Amino acid sequence: MPVVTGRNAIKPIFRSGPSISARVAALVLASVLLILADWRFGALAPARVAFADAAVPFYWITTLPGRLFGWAREVVVSRDTLIEENRVLRAEALVLRASTQRLAALAAENVRLRELLNSTALLDERVLVAEIIGVSPDMSSQTVVIDKGTAHGLAEGQAVIDAYGLFGQIIEVSRFSSRVLLVTDSMHALPAQVVRNGVRVMVEGEGRIDVLDVNHVASTMDVRPGDLLVSSGLGQRFPGGYPVGVVESVTNDPGKPFAVVVARPSAQLDRSRHVLVVTEGEASADAASSGVAPSGAAQEAVGADMPGATPRADASAPTARSQDGLP
């Protein structure tokens, strides 16, 4: 087909497409129709879900640098930071362990003080709470040091007890401390009696912390293992009726007039931390008010043989004790 050129060429009717405004109007109209169709009939819901699924990989790719940077910052930590954190944690753990041990010690001390409080309710005497601050290193002498002295009204010869029984007797007093001789010391003796039948005996120390000798007990006396020995109150040195010990064994030899009786101290001599010093009792108050001194037998049994007065001096002392301590 021949091509027409020159002046006789046919010119197109439209030199360009639709105008910009027409295109915008068409797009707006189509958008409105799609919105109405989706709002009314939900026609675009499947397409929207498909586009969301297709966009997930792009979301993951765009957030990958940030996640990699955060992971690297958590992993790559300086050695100094780790050492410092470890040091702080170790210090905190040490403080917590020390606090726990301190709380355990306070709880144990609270239990001991409660036991002392319960024991004072059973006494008619006035007592003073004292703490043991020292123990004698001399193996031949069983003594302890308490933190009360003459400044607190203490004097030589006063009885000392703990929550479980008779503990000992004050033998030396200074202004702010006192030395206490334990009931198990070999130089200590006190009159006692059997709770079960009232038999009076003399209890002496042997030098061992867990042993008491019940001396000069006739073979015919009714003393049995398990009998509780309490202070008799003779001589008004120790409060009467307070536990001294429990009989552990009674050995009778047919060829000897006296039985060998061994008792265990009631007081916790090697464990008690707090003790009570008997400063005044009903017996001593009555004696002082009446002006009557203890009898000669009681003075010999308690005053002469107790360590607060005169230690054992000769071999005749046990015989005097046996005569005065027995019924």
Query: Do 140 and 276 sit in the same domain of this protein?
Result: yes
Domain, as residue range, for 91:
84-121
Query: Do 188 and 154 sit in the same domain of this protein?
Result: yes
Q: Tell me, what DSSP letter sits at residue 143?
A: E
Task: Point out the domain boundary residue: 121, 147, 169.
Answer: 121
pLDDT confidence tier of residue 245, bands split at 50, 70 and 90? very high
R_g over Cα of the chain:
49
d(CA 197, CA 47): 107
Query: Do 158 and 108 sit in the same domain of this protein?
Result: no
Q: Which of 121-125, 151-155, 219-223, 234-238 shows the lowest per-residue confidence on average (mean pLDDT)?
A: 121-125
Distances (CA, A) of 256 to 204, 219, 220, 318, 326: 20, 8, 11, 17, 17
Note whether 222 and 199 are within 8 A (CB). Answer: yes
Whole-number pLDDT of residue 246:
94
Q: For position 251, which CATH number holds?
A: 2.40.10.340
In a domain, 64, yes or no: no
Query: Do 113 and 250 sit in the same domain of this protein?
Result: no
Mean pLDDT in residue range 280-298: 38
**pLDDT of 300 above 50:** no
Per-chain mean pLDDT for the chain: 75
In the structure encoding, which two tokens stand for residue 272, read together?
């008690």
Task: State whether the Cα torsion 193-207-217-293 is positive or negative.
Answer: negative
Q: Which of 193-202, 233-242, 286-295 shows the lowest per-residue confidence on average (mean pLDDT)?
A: 286-295
In a domain, 35, yes or no: no
Q: How far is CA 326 from the centre of its chain?
A: 44
Q: DSSP H helical segments within 42-78, as ranges?
A: 45-75
Q: Tell me, what DSSP letter sits at residue 7?
A: G
In a domain, 76, yes or no: no
Query: Do 94 and 133 sit in the same domain of this protein?
Result: no
pLDDT confidence tier of residue 49, bands split at 50, 70 and 90? confident
Note whether 258 and 216 are within 8 A (CB). Answer: yes
Contacts of 193 (CB under 8 A, 6+ apart): 199, 200, 201, 229, 230, 231, 232
Q: How many domains does the chain have?
A: 2
How much of the chain, in percent, has pLDDT values that exceed 90?
A: 25
In a domain, 93, yes or no: yes
Per the listing, tokens 């780790």 go with 82
Query: Do 115 and 232 sit in the same domain of this protein?
Result: no
Per the listing, tokens 């707006």 go with 28
pLDDT confidence tier of residue 204, bands split at 50, 70 and 90? very high
Query: Do 146 and 230 sit in the same domain of this protein?
Result: yes
Query: Do 104 and 130 sit in the same domain of this protein?
Result: no
pLDDT confidence tier of residue 321, bands split at 50, 70 and 90? very low
In a domain, 46, yes or no: no
Q: Tell me which of 308 and 192 has the higher pLDDT.
A: 192
In a domain, 261, yes or no: yes
Q: Which of 23-32, 35-44, 159-168 shows the lowest per-residue confidence on average (mean pLDDT)?
A: 35-44
In a domain, 185, yes or no: yes
Task: Point out the domain boundary residue: 121, 141, 174.
Answer: 121
Query: Do 101 and 215 sit in the same domain of this protein?
Result: no
pLDDT confidence tier of residue 77, bands split at 50, 70 and 90? low
**pLDDT of 135 above 60:** yes
Extract the runs of DSSP E, i.e. beta strands, from 72-188.
126-135, 143-146, 159-161, 166-173, 178-182
Q: Tell me which of 67 and 265 has the higher pLDDT.
A: 265
In a domain, 54, yes or no: no
Task: Point out the domain boundary residue: 67, 95, 121.
Answer: 121
Query: Do 132 and 116 sit in the same domain of this protein?
Result: no
d(CA 209, CA 182): 9
Whole-number pLDDT of residue 132:
92
Mean pLDDT in residue range 152-157: 92
In the structure encoding, which two tokens stand for residue 271, read together?
């464990």
Whole-number pLDDT of residue 47:
75
Query: Do 231 and 284 sit in the same domain of this protein?
Result: yes
